[in-house]
């Protein structure tokens, strides 16, 4: 799990790439959950929160530019 400081230090391009990879991982974890082979269900919550943190930083940057 990344801290907000670490997220804010990254560029917009890196953050968007990270969101894409996290969404892909989240999809795979949900598939594992549906088939009953998910080992760490807390990882789903962690990924969702990280995606929200990244989106928050991107939104802050957008509103700061306007």
Domain 4-65 has CATH 1.10.287.310: yes
Cβ atoms of 64 and 18 closer than 8 Å: no
**Global pTM?**
0.91
> What distance in Å separates the CA atoms of residue 28 and residue 9, rounded to the nearest whole number?
28
- Residue 1: which pLDDT band, with cuts at 50, 70 and 90? low
Asked if the model's pLDDT at residue 65 lies above 90, the reply is no
CA triple 21-27-33, angle to 5 deg: 135
Domain ranges within the chain, ordered by starting residue: 4-65
Asked if the model's pLDDT at residue 48 lies above 90, the reply is yes
- pLDDT score of 53: 97
Q: What are the pLDDT digits (tens) for 9-45?
A: 999 999 999 999 999 999 999 999 999 999 999 999 9
> What does each C-alpha distance from 43 to 23, 51, 59, 62 come to in angstroms?
12, 12, 24, 29
């Amino acid at each position: 799990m990344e801290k907000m400081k670490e997220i804010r230090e990254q560029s917009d391009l890196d953050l968007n790439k990270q969101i894409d990879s996290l969404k892909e991982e989240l999809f795979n974890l949900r598939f594992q959950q549906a088939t009953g082979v998910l080992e760490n269900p807390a990882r789903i919550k962690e990924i969702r929160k990280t995606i929200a943190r990244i989106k928050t930083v991107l939104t802050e940057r957008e509103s700061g530019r306007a």
